[in-house]
Structure 1
Amino acid sequence: MIANVLTIAGTDPSGGAGIQADIKAMSALGAYSCSVITAVVAQNTKGVRSFQALDPDFVAAQIDAVLDDLRIDAVKIGMIANAGIARAVADRLRHHGARNIVLDPVMVAKSGHALLDPEAVSAVRDSLVPLARVITPNLPEAAVLLDRDDGWTAETMQTALPALLTLGSEYVLLKGGHLAGAESTDLLAGPEVTQTLRAPRIATTNDHGTGCTLSSAIAALLPHHDMAEAVARAKAYLHAALAESVSLDVGHGHGPVHHFHAFWGSGG
Protein backbone atom coordinates (compact mmCIF):
# COMPACT_ATOMS: atom_id res chain seq x y z
CA MET A 1 0.00 0.00 0.00
CA ILE A 2 1.26 3.46 -0.88
CA ALA A 3 0.64 5.71 2.12
CA ASN A 4 -1.22 9.00 1.73
CA VAL A 5 0.48 11.58 3.97
CA LEU A 6 -0.74 15.11 4.64
CA THR A 7 1.56 18.01 5.44
CA ILE A 8 0.16 21.13 7.13
CA ALA A 9 2.75 23.91 6.98
CA GLY A 10 3.95 27.18 5.46
CA THR A 11 5.62 27.65 2.10
CA ASP A 12 9.21 28.19 1.00
CA PRO A 13 9.53 29.63 -2.52
CA SER A 14 13.22 28.66 -2.61
CA GLY A 15 12.18 25.02 -2.19
CA GLY A 16 14.36 23.92 0.71
CA ALA A 17 11.99 24.03 3.68
CA GLY A 18 8.29 24.12 4.52
CA ILE A 19 5.65 22.53 2.31
CA GLN A 20 8.08 22.15 -0.58
CA ALA A 21 10.62 20.21 1.49
CA ASP A 22 7.85 18.12 3.04
CA ILE A 23 6.52 17.04 -0.35
CA LYS A 24 10.03 16.20 -1.59
CA ALA A 25 10.91 14.11 1.47
CA MET A 26 7.60 12.23 1.48
CA SER A 27 7.85 11.55 -2.25
CA ALA A 28 11.47 10.35 -1.98
CA LEU A 29 10.37 7.85 0.67
CA GLY A 30 7.52 6.44 -1.38
CA ALA A 31 4.49 8.24 0.06
CA TYR A 32 1.79 10.15 -1.80
CA SER A 33 1.92 13.69 -0.39
CA CYS A 34 -1.05 16.03 0.14
CA SER A 35 -0.71 19.56 1.50
CA VAL A 36 -2.55 22.25 3.44
CA ILE A 37 -0.96 25.69 3.55
CA THR A 38 -1.04 27.72 6.76
CA ALA A 39 1.10 30.68 5.71
CA VAL A 40 2.72 32.07 2.57
CA VAL A 41 6.34 32.90 3.34
CA ALA A 42 8.74 35.17 1.44
CA GLN A 43 12.08 33.51 2.10
CA ASN A 44 15.19 32.14 0.45
CA THR A 45 18.40 30.46 1.60
CA LYS A 46 19.51 33.71 3.28
CA GLY A 47 16.45 34.16 5.46
CA VAL A 48 12.79 34.99 5.91
CA ARG A 49 11.69 38.40 4.67
CA SER A 50 8.04 38.27 5.71
CA PHE A 51 5.04 35.98 5.86
CA GLN A 52 1.28 36.17 5.59
CA ALA A 53 -0.72 33.75 7.72
CA LEU A 54 -3.91 32.48 6.11
CA ASP A 55 -7.30 32.84 7.74
CA PRO A 56 -7.87 29.98 10.22
CA ASP A 57 -11.25 29.19 8.68
CA PHE A 58 -9.60 28.79 5.28
CA VAL A 59 -6.94 26.51 6.76
CA ALA A 60 -9.77 24.46 8.29
CA ALA A 61 -11.55 24.36 4.91
CA GLN A 62 -8.41 22.97 3.25
CA ILE A 63 -8.15 20.23 5.88
CA ASP A 64 -11.80 19.32 5.43
CA ALA A 65 -11.41 19.21 1.64
CA VAL A 66 -8.60 16.68 1.95
CA LEU A 67 -9.95 14.52 4.78
CA ASP A 68 -13.52 14.43 3.47
CA ASP A 69 -12.19 12.68 0.36
CA LEU A 70 -8.83 10.98 0.93
CA ARG A 71 -7.68 8.21 3.25
CA ILE A 72 -4.86 9.88 5.17
CA ASP A 73 -2.42 7.51 6.85
CA ALA A 74 -0.24 10.12 8.59
CA VAL A 75 -0.10 13.88 9.14
CA LYS A 76 2.90 16.15 9.54
CA ILE A 77 2.33 19.57 11.13
CA GLY A 78 4.94 22.28 10.64
CA MET A 79 4.59 26.07 10.66
CA ILE A 80 1.37 27.11 12.41
CA ALA A 81 1.98 30.90 12.60
CA ASN A 82 -0.66 31.87 15.18
CA ALA A 83 -3.04 30.64 17.86
CA GLY A 84 -6.12 30.77 15.64
CA ILE A 85 -4.57 28.43 13.11
CA ALA A 86 -3.35 26.11 15.90
CA ARG A 87 -6.86 25.78 17.28
CA ALA A 88 -8.41 25.34 13.82
CA VAL A 89 -5.94 22.59 12.88
CA ALA A 90 -6.50 20.79 16.18
CA ASP A 91 -10.28 21.01 15.83
CA ARG A 92 -10.40 19.60 12.30
CA LEU A 93 -7.85 16.83 12.90
CA ARG A 94 -9.75 15.78 16.00
CA HIS A 95 -13.05 15.89 14.09
CA HIS A 96 -11.70 13.64 11.35
CA GLY A 97 -9.92 11.25 13.72
CA ALA A 98 -6.54 11.84 12.11
CA ARG A 99 -3.81 9.40 13.14
CA ASN A 100 -0.02 9.16 13.09
CA ILE A 101 0.33 12.91 13.67
CA VAL A 102 3.93 14.16 13.64
CA LEU A 103 4.26 17.66 15.12
CA ASP A 104 7.37 19.68 14.32
CA PRO A 105 6.87 22.73 16.58
CA VAL A 106 8.36 25.26 14.16
CA MET A 107 9.02 28.53 15.97
CA VAL A 108 12.12 30.13 14.44
CA ALA A 109 13.63 29.89 10.96
CA LYS A 110 17.29 28.96 10.43
CA SER A 111 17.97 32.68 9.94
CA GLY A 112 16.52 33.49 13.37
CA HIS A 113 13.25 34.97 12.07
CA ALA A 114 10.24 34.14 14.29
CA LEU A 115 7.65 31.97 12.54
CA LEU A 116 5.21 31.66 15.45
CA ASP A 117 3.51 34.46 17.37
CA PRO A 118 4.56 34.37 21.05
CA GLU A 119 0.94 34.05 22.19
CA ALA A 120 0.54 31.01 19.94
CA VAL A 121 3.01 28.89 21.92
CA SER A 122 0.41 27.95 24.53
CA ALA A 123 -2.09 27.08 21.79
CA VAL A 124 0.42 24.74 20.15
CA ARG A 125 1.32 23.23 23.54
CA ASP A 126 -2.27 22.79 24.70
CA SER A 127 -4.13 22.04 21.44
CA LEU A 128 -1.70 20.27 19.13
CA VAL A 129 0.88 18.47 21.27
CA PRO A 130 -1.73 16.18 22.91
CA LEU A 131 -2.93 15.09 19.45
CA ALA A 132 0.54 14.11 18.28
CA ARG A 133 1.88 10.63 18.17
CA VAL A 134 5.35 12.21 18.21
CA ILE A 135 6.71 15.74 18.57
CA THR A 136 10.14 16.61 17.15
CA PRO A 137 11.47 19.74 18.90
CA ASN A 138 15.03 20.94 18.61
CA LEU A 139 16.60 22.28 21.79
CA PRO A 140 15.46 25.92 21.46
CA GLU A 141 11.92 24.73 20.70
CA ALA A 142 11.96 22.34 23.65
CA ALA A 143 13.07 25.20 25.89
CA VAL A 144 10.06 27.26 24.79
CA LEU A 145 7.64 24.36 25.23
CA LEU A 146 8.96 23.74 28.75
CA ASP A 147 9.33 27.46 29.56
CA ARG A 148 12.96 27.02 30.59
CA ASP A 149 16.05 28.98 29.62
CA ASP A 150 18.91 27.07 31.17
CA GLY A 151 21.65 25.71 28.95
CA TRP A 152 21.46 22.35 27.23
CA THR A 153 23.87 19.46 27.66
CA ALA A 154 23.66 15.75 26.90
CA GLU A 155 22.58 15.26 30.51
CA THR A 156 19.84 17.91 30.52
CA MET A 157 18.48 16.47 27.28
CA GLN A 158 17.90 13.20 29.11
CA THR A 159 16.26 14.85 32.10
CA ALA A 160 13.96 16.95 29.86
CA LEU A 161 12.33 13.92 28.24
CA PRO A 162 9.85 13.13 31.06
CA ALA A 163 8.76 16.78 31.21
CA LEU A 164 8.21 16.88 27.46
CA LEU A 165 6.16 13.67 27.61
CA THR A 166 3.88 15.17 30.25
CA LEU A 167 2.73 17.70 27.61
CA GLY A 168 0.68 14.88 26.09
CA SER A 169 2.26 13.38 22.98
CA GLU A 170 2.82 9.63 22.84
CA TYR A 171 6.49 10.00 21.86
CA VAL A 172 9.10 12.75 21.91
CA LEU A 173 12.07 12.99 19.56
CA LEU A 174 14.38 15.60 21.12
CA LYS A 175 16.91 16.72 18.53
CA GLY A 176 20.39 17.61 19.77
CA GLY A 177 21.83 19.21 16.66
CA HIS A 178 22.43 22.51 18.47
CA LEU A 179 24.99 20.91 20.79
CA ALA A 180 28.65 20.91 19.82
CA GLY A 181 30.58 17.74 19.13
CA ALA A 182 31.58 15.28 16.45
CA GLU A 183 28.18 13.57 16.56
CA SER A 184 24.61 14.77 16.18
CA THR A 185 22.61 12.98 18.86
CA ASP A 186 18.82 12.76 19.12
CA LEU A 187 16.79 11.10 21.88
CA LEU A 188 13.53 9.22 21.32
CA ALA A 189 11.29 8.51 24.31
CA GLY A 190 7.85 6.99 24.60
CA PRO A 191 6.00 3.91 25.80
CA GLU A 192 8.60 1.39 26.91
CA VAL A 193 11.34 2.95 24.75
CA THR A 194 14.21 5.35 25.24
CA GLN A 195 16.53 5.31 22.26
CA THR A 196 19.65 7.29 21.44
CA LEU A 197 20.24 7.98 17.76
CA ARG A 198 23.71 9.12 16.75
CA ALA A 199 25.16 10.18 13.42
CA PRO A 200 28.49 11.79 12.52
CA ARG A 201 28.09 15.55 12.27
CA ILE A 202 28.42 16.76 8.68
CA ALA A 203 30.26 20.05 8.17
CA THR A 204 27.99 21.86 5.72
CA THR A 205 25.97 25.05 5.41
CA ASN A 206 23.36 23.13 3.40
CA ASP A 207 21.12 22.64 6.40
CA HIS A 208 18.05 24.65 5.36
CA GLY A 209 14.89 22.69 6.12
CA THR A 210 16.45 19.85 8.08
CA GLY A 211 13.69 19.86 10.69
CA CYS A 212 10.96 19.92 8.05
CA THR A 213 12.67 17.08 6.20
CA LEU A 214 13.12 14.85 9.24
CA SER A 215 9.55 15.21 10.51
CA SER A 216 8.15 14.63 7.02
CA ALA A 217 10.30 11.55 6.61
CA ILE A 218 8.97 10.16 9.89
CA ALA A 219 5.38 10.80 8.76
CA ALA A 220 6.04 9.06 5.44
CA LEU A 221 7.47 6.00 7.20
CA LEU A 222 5.07 5.64 10.15
CA PRO A 223 2.29 3.91 8.18
CA HIS A 224 4.70 1.02 7.51
CA HIS A 225 6.97 0.91 10.59
CA ASP A 226 6.83 1.20 14.36
CA MET A 227 8.01 4.48 15.86
CA ALA A 228 11.59 3.47 16.66
CA GLU A 229 12.14 2.06 13.17
CA ALA A 230 10.49 5.02 11.43
CA VAL A 231 12.63 7.51 13.35
CA ALA A 232 15.84 5.56 12.73
CA ARG A 233 15.14 5.31 9.01
CA ALA A 234 14.17 8.98 8.81
CA LYS A 235 17.40 10.06 10.53
CA ALA A 236 19.44 7.89 8.15
CA TYR A 237 17.62 9.46 5.19
CA LEU A 238 18.32 12.99 6.44
CA HIS A 239 21.97 12.14 7.11
CA ALA A 240 22.41 10.94 3.53
CA ALA A 241 20.55 13.99 2.18
CA LEU A 242 22.92 16.24 4.13
CA ALA A 243 25.98 14.33 2.94
CA GLU A 244 24.91 14.56 -0.70
CA SER A 245 23.86 18.23 -0.51
CA VAL A 246 27.29 19.16 -1.90
CA SER A 247 25.89 18.10 -5.30
CA LEU A 248 23.45 21.04 -5.24
CA ASP A 249 24.18 24.68 -6.03
CA VAL A 250 21.15 26.49 -4.63
CA GLY A 251 21.37 30.01 -3.25
CA HIS A 252 24.02 31.93 -1.33
CA GLY A 253 23.02 31.23 2.26
CA HIS A 254 21.96 28.02 4.02
CA GLY A 255 21.32 25.73 1.07
CA PRO A 256 18.88 22.79 1.04
CA VAL A 257 19.58 19.14 1.66
CA HIS A 258 19.48 16.79 -1.35
CA HIS A 259 16.05 15.19 -0.93
CA PHE A 260 16.39 13.09 -4.09
CA HIS A 261 19.98 11.93 -3.64
CA ALA A 262 18.99 8.29 -4.12
CA PHE A 263 17.46 9.02 -7.51
CA TRP A 264 19.38 11.85 -9.16
CA GLY A 265 22.96 10.97 -8.35
CA SER A 266 25.61 13.68 -8.43
CA GLY A 267 25.02 14.60 -12.06
CA GLY A 268 21.38 15.67 -11.73
Structure 2
Amino acid sequence: MLSGLDPSGGAGIQADIQAITSLGAHPLPLVSCLTVQDTRNVYGAEAVDADLIRRQLESLANDVPIHAIKTGALGNAQVLDTLVDFVRTMPDIPLIVDPVVKAAGGGNLADEELIRAMKERLFPLAEMITPNGEELALLGNSDDPDTAARNLQEAGCDSVLATGGHGIGFHIINTLYNHAPEPMRWEIERVNDHEFHGTGCTLAAAIAAGRGCGLSARAAISQAQNYVRHTVLHALTVGKGQRVPDRGILWEH
Protein backbone atom coordinates (compact mmCIF):
# COMPACT_ATOMS: atom_id res chain seq x y z
CA MET A 1 0.00 0.00 0.00
CA LEU A 2 0.99 3.61 -0.58
CA SER A 3 -0.30 6.01 2.07
CA GLY A 4 0.64 9.00 4.17
CA LEU A 5 2.17 8.86 7.63
CA ASP A 6 -0.14 10.07 10.41
CA PRO A 7 1.94 10.74 13.57
CA SER A 8 -1.12 10.15 15.77
CA GLY A 9 -1.33 6.57 14.52
CA GLY A 10 -5.04 6.90 13.82
CA ALA A 11 -5.09 6.96 10.03
CA GLY A 12 -2.79 6.55 7.05
CA ILE A 13 -0.07 3.96 6.76
CA GLN A 14 -0.38 2.66 10.33
CA ALA A 15 -4.11 2.06 9.88
CA ASP A 16 -3.34 0.16 6.69
CA ILE A 17 -0.65 -1.99 8.31
CA GLN A 18 -2.83 -2.90 11.28
CA ALA A 19 -5.94 -3.68 9.24
CA ILE A 20 -4.16 -5.76 6.62
CA THR A 21 -2.27 -7.72 9.27
CA SER A 22 -5.45 -8.36 11.28
CA LEU A 23 -7.11 -9.83 8.21
CA GLY A 24 -4.36 -12.36 7.59
CA ALA A 25 -2.39 -10.65 4.83
CA HIS A 26 1.14 -9.25 4.84
CA PRO A 27 1.43 -5.49 4.24
CA LEU A 28 4.11 -3.92 2.03
CA PRO A 29 4.02 -0.32 3.31
CA LEU A 30 5.32 2.61 1.26
CA VAL A 31 5.00 6.13 2.67
CA SER A 32 3.75 8.67 0.12
CA CYS A 33 3.80 11.78 2.29
CA LEU A 34 4.66 12.97 5.79
CA THR A 35 1.99 14.93 7.63
CA VAL A 36 1.70 17.28 10.56
CA GLN A 37 -1.41 15.74 12.06
CA ASP A 38 -3.17 14.79 15.28
CA THR A 39 -6.56 13.30 16.12
CA ARG A 40 -8.20 16.66 15.43
CA ASN A 41 -6.90 17.76 12.03
CA VAL A 42 -4.12 17.87 9.42
CA TYR A 43 -1.96 21.00 9.55
CA GLY A 44 0.53 20.26 6.79
CA ALA A 45 1.89 17.58 4.47
CA GLU A 46 5.03 17.04 2.40
CA ALA A 47 5.30 14.43 -0.35
CA VAL A 48 8.09 11.87 -0.38
CA ASP A 49 10.42 12.03 -3.39
CA ALA A 50 8.68 10.27 -6.27
CA ASP A 51 11.90 8.67 -7.56
CA LEU A 52 12.52 7.07 -4.16
CA ILE A 53 9.02 5.59 -4.28
CA ARG A 54 9.65 4.32 -7.82
CA ARG A 55 12.79 2.53 -6.65
CA GLN A 56 10.96 1.03 -3.68
CA LEU A 57 8.17 -0.27 -5.93
CA GLU A 58 10.62 -1.79 -8.39
CA SER A 59 12.57 -3.46 -5.61
CA LEU A 60 9.45 -5.02 -4.09
CA ALA A 61 8.10 -6.17 -7.45
CA ASN A 62 11.36 -8.01 -8.15
CA ASP A 63 11.20 -9.85 -4.85
CA VAL A 64 7.66 -10.28 -3.47
CA PRO A 65 4.40 -11.50 -5.08
CA ILE A 66 1.84 -8.69 -4.90
CA HIS A 67 -1.85 -9.65 -4.73
CA ALA A 68 -3.55 -6.27 -4.22
CA ILE A 69 -2.65 -2.58 -4.07
CA LYS A 70 -4.26 0.02 -1.81
CA THR A 71 -3.68 3.78 -1.89
CA GLY A 72 -4.48 6.59 0.52
CA ALA A 73 -3.16 10.15 0.60
CA LEU A 74 -0.64 10.42 -2.25
CA GLY A 75 1.13 13.71 -1.57
CA ASN A 76 1.37 15.14 -5.08
CA ALA A 77 0.81 14.41 -8.76
CA GLN A 78 4.41 13.23 -9.26
CA VAL A 79 3.91 10.43 -6.71
CA LEU A 80 0.63 9.56 -8.41
CA ASP A 81 2.29 9.29 -11.81
CA THR A 82 4.95 6.99 -10.36
CA LEU A 83 2.19 4.78 -8.97
CA VAL A 84 0.28 4.82 -12.26
CA ASP A 85 3.37 3.69 -14.17
CA PHE A 86 3.81 0.82 -11.72
CA VAL A 87 0.15 -0.24 -11.72
CA ARG A 88 0.15 -0.43 -15.51
CA THR A 89 2.79 -3.16 -15.30
CA MET A 90 0.40 -5.23 -13.14
CA PRO A 91 -3.00 -4.87 -14.84
CA ASP A 92 -4.56 -7.96 -13.24
CA ILE A 93 -3.92 -6.94 -9.62
CA PRO A 94 -6.88 -5.33 -7.79
CA LEU A 95 -6.26 -1.65 -7.06
CA ILE A 96 -8.33 -0.18 -4.22
CA VAL A 97 -8.14 3.62 -4.09
CA ASP A 98 -9.14 5.62 -1.02
CA PRO A 99 -9.27 9.05 -2.68
CA VAL A 100 -8.12 11.10 0.29
CA VAL A 101 -8.71 14.80 -0.29
CA LYS A 102 -9.37 16.30 3.14
CA ALA A 103 -8.96 15.25 6.74
CA ALA A 104 -12.08 14.97 8.87
CA GLY A 105 -11.09 18.23 10.57
CA GLY A 106 -10.99 20.02 7.21
CA GLY A 107 -7.24 20.08 6.50
CA ASN A 108 -6.25 19.62 2.86
CA LEU A 109 -4.40 16.52 1.70
CA ALA A 110 -4.67 17.06 -2.05
CA ASP A 111 -4.29 20.13 -4.25
CA GLU A 112 -6.14 20.75 -7.52
CA GLU A 113 -3.36 19.21 -9.62
CA LEU A 114 -3.47 15.98 -7.61
CA ILE A 115 -7.27 15.82 -7.67
CA ARG A 116 -7.26 16.24 -11.45
CA ALA A 117 -4.56 13.57 -11.81
CA MET A 118 -6.56 11.13 -9.66
CA LYS A 119 -9.65 11.57 -11.80
CA GLU A 120 -7.85 11.43 -15.14
CA ARG A 121 -5.06 8.90 -14.60
CA LEU A 122 -5.58 6.84 -11.45
CA PHE A 123 -9.31 6.16 -11.18
CA PRO A 124 -9.56 4.46 -14.62
CA LEU A 125 -7.01 1.88 -13.40
CA ALA A 126 -8.77 1.16 -10.09
CA GLU A 127 -11.01 -1.79 -9.42
CA MET A 128 -12.75 0.30 -6.76
CA ILE A 129 -12.59 3.75 -5.24
CA THR A 130 -13.96 4.36 -1.74
CA PRO A 131 -14.91 8.05 -1.31
CA ASN A 132 -16.80 9.36 1.70
CA GLY A 133 -19.73 11.70 1.10
CA GLU A 134 -17.69 14.89 0.86
CA GLU A 135 -15.11 13.29 -1.44
CA LEU A 136 -17.83 11.80 -3.65
CA ALA A 137 -19.51 15.19 -4.12
CA LEU A 138 -16.21 16.91 -4.91
CA LEU A 139 -14.83 14.26 -7.25
CA GLY A 140 -18.14 13.49 -8.94
CA ASN A 141 -19.17 17.16 -9.34
CA SER A 142 -22.60 16.71 -7.76
CA ASP A 143 -24.20 16.82 -4.32
CA ASP A 144 -26.48 13.97 -5.37
CA PRO A 145 -24.63 10.70 -4.60
CA ASP A 146 -26.18 8.73 -7.46
CA THR A 147 -25.30 11.45 -9.98
CA ALA A 148 -21.79 11.89 -8.60
CA ALA A 149 -21.10 8.15 -8.74
CA ARG A 150 -22.46 7.94 -12.27
CA ASN A 151 -20.25 10.85 -13.34
CA LEU A 152 -17.21 9.06 -11.94
CA GLN A 153 -18.13 5.82 -13.70
CA GLU A 154 -18.64 7.63 -16.98
CA ALA A 155 -15.17 9.16 -16.51
CA GLY A 156 -13.63 5.70 -16.21
CA CYS A 157 -14.16 4.34 -12.66
CA ASP A 158 -14.97 0.64 -12.68
CA SER A 159 -16.83 0.77 -9.36
CA VAL A 160 -17.48 3.30 -6.62
CA LEU A 161 -18.11 2.36 -2.98
CA ALA A 162 -19.70 5.48 -1.51
CA THR A 163 -19.14 5.28 2.24
CA GLY A 164 -21.46 6.80 4.82
CA GLY A 165 -19.27 6.89 7.89
CA HIS A 166 -18.96 10.69 7.85
CA GLY A 167 -22.72 11.20 7.75
CA ILE A 168 -25.28 11.42 10.54
CA GLY A 169 -28.15 9.27 11.74
CA PHE A 170 -28.56 5.90 13.39
CA HIS A 171 -27.26 3.91 10.43
CA ILE A 172 -24.28 4.04 8.09
CA ILE A 173 -25.21 3.27 4.50
CA ASN A 174 -22.44 2.18 2.15
CA THR A 175 -23.42 1.99 -1.51
CA LEU A 176 -21.60 0.09 -4.25
CA TYR A 177 -22.06 1.45 -7.75
CA ASN A 178 -20.74 -0.92 -10.41
CA HIS A 179 -22.07 -2.44 -13.62
CA ALA A 180 -25.12 -4.01 -11.94
CA PRO A 181 -28.53 -2.57 -12.90
CA GLU A 182 -29.02 -1.19 -9.38
CA PRO A 183 -26.54 -0.10 -6.68
CA MET A 184 -25.96 -2.51 -3.79
CA ARG A 185 -26.40 -1.06 -0.31
CA TRP A 186 -25.21 -2.18 3.11
CA GLU A 187 -26.87 -0.70 6.20
CA ILE A 188 -24.77 -0.78 9.38
CA GLU A 189 -25.70 0.50 12.81
CA ARG A 190 -23.72 3.63 13.65
CA VAL A 191 -21.71 3.38 16.87
CA ASN A 192 -22.64 6.14 19.35
CA ASP A 193 -23.40 8.57 16.50
CA HIS A 194 -19.69 9.50 16.47
CA GLU A 195 -17.07 9.88 13.77
CA PHE A 196 -13.75 8.14 14.24
CA HIS A 197 -10.24 8.96 13.06
CA GLY A 198 -9.10 6.56 10.34
CA THR A 199 -12.19 4.50 9.52
CA GLY A 200 -11.94 5.28 5.80
CA CYS A 201 -8.32 4.11 5.67
CA THR A 202 -9.24 1.01 7.67
CA LEU A 203 -12.14 0.10 5.41
CA ALA A 204 -10.19 0.48 2.15
CA ALA A 205 -7.19 -1.42 3.52
CA ALA A 206 -9.46 -4.21 4.76
CA ILE A 207 -11.09 -4.48 1.34
CA ALA A 208 -7.66 -4.71 -0.29
CA ALA A 209 -6.66 -7.42 2.19
CA GLY A 210 -9.76 -9.41 1.33
CA ARG A 211 -9.17 -9.08 -2.38
CA GLY A 212 -5.51 -10.02 -1.93
CA CYS A 213 -6.60 -13.16 -0.07
CA GLY A 214 -8.90 -14.18 -2.92
CA LEU A 215 -12.32 -12.91 -1.82
CA SER A 216 -14.69 -11.45 -4.39
CA ALA A 217 -15.20 -7.69 -4.29
CA ARG A 218 -18.56 -7.98 -2.54
CA ALA A 219 -17.30 -10.54 -0.02
CA ALA A 220 -14.27 -8.33 0.68
CA ILE A 221 -16.54 -5.34 1.29
CA SER A 222 -18.75 -7.32 3.67
CA GLN A 223 -15.78 -8.64 5.62
CA ALA A 224 -14.21 -5.17 5.77
CA GLN A 225 -17.39 -3.57 7.07
CA ASN A 226 -17.71 -6.15 9.84
CA TYR A 227 -14.07 -5.62 10.75
CA VAL A 228 -14.38 -1.81 10.87
CA ARG A 229 -17.48 -2.06 13.06
CA HIS A 230 -15.57 -4.30 15.45
CA THR A 231 -12.67 -1.82 15.65
CA VAL A 232 -14.91 1.17 16.42
CA LEU A 233 -16.86 -0.74 19.06
CA HIS A 234 -13.54 -0.90 20.93
CA ALA A 235 -12.26 2.55 19.86
CA LEU A 236 -9.40 4.15 21.77
CA THR A 237 -9.28 7.67 23.20
CA VAL A 238 -5.80 8.66 22.02
CA GLY A 239 -5.96 12.45 21.98
CA LYS A 240 -8.36 15.37 22.31
CA GLY A 241 -10.03 14.84 18.93
CA GLN A 242 -11.75 11.88 17.31
CA ARG A 243 -11.40 8.45 18.83
CA VAL A 244 -9.26 5.88 16.99
CA PRO A 245 -10.47 2.40 15.91
CA ASP A 246 -8.74 -0.35 17.87
CA ARG A 247 -7.33 -2.35 14.97
CA GLY A 248 -5.08 -4.34 17.30
CA ILE A 249 -7.91 -6.07 19.12
CA LEU A 250 -8.38 -9.80 18.45
CA TRP A 251 -10.86 -10.32 15.64
CA GLU A 252 -12.07 -13.66 14.30
CA HIS A 253 -12.68 -13.63 10.54
Please state which band the TM-score falls in when normalised by the shorter chain: over 0.9
What runs of 5+ residues in structure 2 fail to find an aligned partner? none
* CA offsets 1:86-132 (integer angstroms, 9 cap, x no match): 11110122124461100000000121100011221110111110110
Residue in structure 1 matching 2:154, options 166, 169, 174? 166
1:261 counterpart residue number: 249
The C-alpha deviation readout for 1:56-106, integer Å capped at 9, x for no partner, is 222222211211211000000111121111111101221244611000000
Give the corresponding residue for 1:36: 30
Q: Indicate the residue corresponding to 1:121 in structure 2.
A: 115
Give me the whole-angstrom Cα distance separating, in 2, the residues matched to 1:107 and 1:32: 27
Could you tell me which residue of structure 1 aligns to residue 188 of structure 2?
A: 199
Matched residue, 2:223: 233
- Cα distance between partner residues in 2 of 1:206 and 1:137: 15
1:139–1:183 distance in 2 versus 1, CA, 3 Å: same
Aligned to 1:79: 73
Matched to 1:129, the amino acid is: F
Q: Contact 1:136/1:173 (CA < 8 Å) preserved in 2?
A: yes
- For 1:179 and 1:249, how far apart are their aligned partners in 2? 21
Task: Output aligned runs, 1:145-224, within 5 Å.
Answer: 145-148=139-142, 150=143, 156-192=144-180, 194-203=183-192, 205=194, 207-223=196-212, 224=214
Q: Separation in 1 of the partners of 2:4 and 2:137?
A: 22
Q: 2:126, 2:158 within 8 Å by CA — same for their partners in 1? A: yes
Normalised by the length of structure 1, the TM-score is 0.87
Q: Does 1:60 align with 2:79?
A: no
Percent identity of paired positions between Structure 1 and Structure 2: 34
Partner of 1:3: none
Instruction: Classify the secondary structure of the residue corresponding to 1:10.
Output: strand
Secondary structure class of the residue paired with 2:172: strand
For 1:97 and 1:161, locate their aligned partners in 2 and report how far apart those are by CA, in whole Å. 23
CA distance in 2, matches of 1:51, 1:162: 31
2:8 aligns with: 14
Question: Structure 1: how far apart are the matches of 2:33 and 2:222?
Answer: 30
Q: How large is the RMSD of aligned CA atoms in angstroms?
A: 1.8
Listed one character per residue, the Cα deviations across residues 132-162 of structure 1 (whole Å, up to 9, x for unaligned) are 00000111111221233x4xxxxx3234332
1:88 aligns with 2:82: yes
Moved more, 164-173 or 233-242: 164-173
Deviations 1:202-221 (A, max 9, x none): 12656001110000000000
- The answer as to whether partners of 2:124 and 2:156 remain within 8 angstroms in 1 is yes
| Structure 1: 5+ residue stretches without partners | 1-6, 151-155, 264-268
Partner SS, residue 30 of structure 1: coil
Aligned letter for 1:227? A
User: Letter of the aligned partner of 1:137 in structure 2?
Assistant: P
